[in-house]
Chains A and B, each alone.
Chain A
Amino acid sequence: MSLTDLIYLSQKSLRSNILRSVLTSLGIIIGVSSVITMISIGTGARQEVEEQIERFGSNNLIVRSQSSSSRGVSMGANSVNTLTLKDMEALKEELPAISAIAPRVSLSTQIVANGNNWLTSVTGTTNDHFNLSNWNFELGRKFQEDELNKGSRVAVIGKTVQKNLFGTDSPIDEVIRINKVPFTIIGLLEAKGGTVWADLDDTIVVPLKTAKQRLVGKKFPGDQIRSMTINVSSTELLFKTEKDIDTVMRKLHKISANGNPDFVIRNYAQFLNARQESSRVMSILLATVAGISLIVGGIGIMNIMLVTVTERTKEIGVCMSVGAKKRDILLQFLIESLMISLIGGCIGIALGLGVIFGVSEYFNWKMSLDYISLVLSFVFSSSIGIIFGFYPARKAANLNPIDALRYE
């Protein structure tokens, strides 16, 4: 008996009781849609994390000043700058795992250019800032050595600043006034897009020396800086280096191992891991739902197939009397349960796609759907059909022809 004939006979009997067939596949429907949703939440979260690492620069640690309360007096979060360029040099010296450090001073201020006003944050730093945070130039260039050394009034601006001050016009060689000080624009950064908490493109970058001399001299006297971005040569060394930095900084700042530090080390990986963790928990939850409903769905199929075999005992006897072999009967019932589970799988995929679409619309979660999860759903549902359909099918095939024929 050919496969097409078997499928033809199976669909005839499934269609004769459509409601039952659909109800039977309900477990598979729920299971498969959960599997699809689960996988797309998982891959979506992973992709988002990877993208963010890409945007912030991988293997970066950020050391930031923090008002120390070790003397019992808190000076307020932003009022004290405890980091200095000396710390930066010392870290570079002591820890070979550090490949580059970008120092940073910053202020929020009003910018005037082209007759427009814009409030943004100005960063004073070195060329390492562009490298470490994966900034690319849409137009223009980085700072030149002598610009950095002399403290020239040059600036690189982000996409948002360009849009608000110059529209779509090229800002290169235009003059902007930061705190009334004129700067010449030498570069425009490529857009990075926003994150949940900030618009990364809303930025102006000037040489560190220029910033200290002309913009933030009072706020950051001497060689004080606000923070530094530290690039570690490899991911494996990230956490060890974080500890080493802590040790070195405590030594430099003469803080005991259990004293309150006057600096804080931020690790993007940690932050992103936490994000990944929460979507992992979600995935585990869905995987549990999927697993349970697939098993319950399978048992449902087995149950209904057993009922069907009993109901159709006489029919099985008739088929045997006209020459059906055990194999023919086995295959027919297996194909019936396979069809139930596959149809359930298809409906489940459709439902899953709907859920994915809905969730990504309403919660603004990044969800990613790949063909692997579709293939996986098909494999899942068909193997459920075969595994749980096998026992009833074998029961049907092993019927004694005459007993089956006589069954009323």
Chain B
Amino acid sequence: MIKINSLSKEYVMGDNKLLAINNVDVLIKEGEFVSVMGSSGSGKSTLMNIIGCLDTPSSGDYFFKDNNISSLNSNKLAELRNKEIGFVFQNFNLLPRLNALENVVLPLLYSGKNSKERNKLALNALESVGLKDRTHHRPNQLSGGQQQRVSIARAIAGTPKLILADEPTGALDSTTSLEIMKIINELNSKGITIILVTHEDDIAKHASRIIKMKDGKIIEDKKNVSN
């Protein structure tokens, strides 16, 4: 599903060049659950942003489902994010003015589905994360765990093949974190590919494969036997 060949990402900050990703090769198959670990500045988030088509590499190739991403324009990338990829962020990134249902509907608005279909898909997604009774609450009326569940519902509403979760439990307590990880595990068991960025071993161990990064390079890539 994801094929990355000798990919590098360079940031220019004034006179300094920062190599966030240094010549990385990765192959991720469909249905895998991969944790990307590393300390801050290791390049794990940058790698995920590139995989999520939010950022572009400085050099190297990235193939998503055999499409060369560097050849796509911004509209095609937006379409790819809309149809194939779902994001779960550490800070939930819900729109404060919209209620839970409207937040989940948002990606479906951009995909041009009609309102009946939209509402059905969004309600299904909210139901699958156990928030069917909170559809008209605004983010500030929901707890952190509930907000993260809304954001997961938003990520899966468009039935994507890939979920990218960037520290999804980073802002949650340990009990809530477990609930969220349970949902993510369920998604993976339904065949959705998961890439999870974290620096917590407890969270990473939910994955079937753990990639460790340091200074922009992959230093370890192994099956998670404990799972």
- A interface with B by C-beta (< 8 Å): 1-2, 5, 9, 12-13, 16, 314-315, 317-328, 400-402, 405
Docked pose: A85 CA to B47 CA in angstroms: 107
Q: B89: which A residues are within 8 A, CB to CB?
A: 405
Listed by A's residue number, 14 A-B pairs whose Cβ atoms lie within 8 Å are: A1-B112, A2-B112, A12-B97, A16-B97, A317-B93, A321-B52, A325-B78, A325-B110, A400-B55, A401-B54, A401-B55, A402-B54, A405-B89, A405-B93
Docked pose: A320 CA to B110 CA in angstroms: 9
**Which residue of A2, A326, A402 contacts B55 across the interface (Cβ within 8 Å)?**
A402
Q: A328: which B residues are within 8 A, CB to CB?
A: 110
Contact B83 A323 (CB under 8 A): yes
Docked pose: A328 CA to B98 CA in angstroms: 17
B175 at the interface (CB under 8 A from A): no
B33 at the interface (CB under 8 A from A): no
Contact B81 A321 (CB under 8 A): yes
**13 more CB-based (< 8 A) A-B contacts, given A12-B98, A325-B75:** A1-B109, A2-B112, A5-B109, A9-B109, A12-B97, A320-B81, A321-B81, A321-B87, A323-B83, A325-B110, A326-B74, A402-B54, A405-B89
Docked pose: A16 CA to B96 CA in angstroms: 10
A1-B109, A405-B54 are contacts. A325–B74 as well, Cβ < 8 Å? yes
Q: B142: which A residues are within 8 A, CB to CB?
A: none
Residues 81-97 of B contacting A (Cβ, < 8 Å): 81-83, 87, 89, 93-95, 97
A314 to chain B, nearest CB (A): 7
Residues 37-94 of B contacting A (Cβ, < 8 Å): 49, 52, 54-55, 74-75, 78-79, 81-83, 87, 89, 93-94
Contact A13 B97 (CB under 8 A): yes
Docked pose: A405 CA to B107 CA in angstroms: 16
Contact B87 A315 (CB under 8 A): no
B154 at the interface (CB under 8 A from A): yes
B147 to chain A, nearest CB (A): 13
- Which chain B residue has the least Cβ–Cβ distance from A405? B54
Contact A322 B107 (CB under 8 A): yes
Interface flags for B142-163 (1: CB within 8 Å of A; 0: not) read 0000000000001000100000
Q: Which of A2, A12, A320, A401 has the most CB of B within 10 A?
A: A401
A138 to chain B, nearest CB (A): 67
B140 at the interface (CB under 8 A from A): no
Contact B93 A314 (CB under 8 A): yes
- B interface with A by C-beta (< 8 Å): 49, 52, 54-55, 74-75, 78-79, 81-83, 87, 89, 93-95, 97-98, 106-107, 109-112, 154, 158
Q: B154: which A residues are within 8 A, CB to CB?
A: 322
**Which residue of A12, A13, A318, A322 contacts B82 across the interface (Cβ within 8 Å)?**
A322
Q: A324: which B residues are within 8 A, CB to CB?
A: 78, 110
- Which chain A residue has the least Cβ–Cβ distance from B118? A5
Contact B55 A319 (CB under 8 A): no
Contact A323 B54 (CB under 8 A): no
Docked pose: A9 CA to B103 CA in angstroms: 11
Contact B93 A1 (CB under 8 A): no
A1-B112, A12-B97, A16-B97 are contacts. A322–B74 as well, Cβ < 8 Å? no
Contact A322 B87 (CB under 8 A): yes
Q: A320: which B residues are within 8 A, CB to CB?
A: 54, 78, 81
A12-B97, A324-B78, A405-B93 are contacts. A319–B54 as well, Cβ < 8 Å? no
**Which residue of A314, A319, A325, A401 contacts B106 across the interface (Cβ within 8 Å)?**
A319
Docked pose: A328 CA to B111 CA in angstroms: 11
Contact A318 B95 (CB under 8 A): yes
Q: A322: which B residues are within 8 A, CB to CB?
A: 81-82, 87, 106-107, 110, 154
Docked pose: A189 CA to B25 CA in angstroms: 104
A1-B112, A402-B55 are contacts. A323–B95 as well, Cβ < 8 Å? no
A336 to chain B, nearest CB (A): 13
B109 to chain A, nearest CB (A): 5
Contact A315 B110 (CB under 8 A): no
Docked pose: A290 CA to B106 CA in angstroms: 40
B112 to chain A, nearest CB (A): 7
Contact B112 A323 (CB under 8 A): no
Interface pairs A-B: 8 shortest CB-CB: A323-B82, A322-B107, A323-B110, A402-B55, A325-B78, A402-B54, A401-B54, A318-B93
Contact B112 A325 (CB under 8 A): no
**Which residue of A2, A315, A400 contacts B95 across the interface (Cβ within 8 Å)?**
A315
Docked pose: A322 CA to B54 CA in angstroms: 10
Q: B49: which A residues are within 8 A, CB to CB?
A: 402
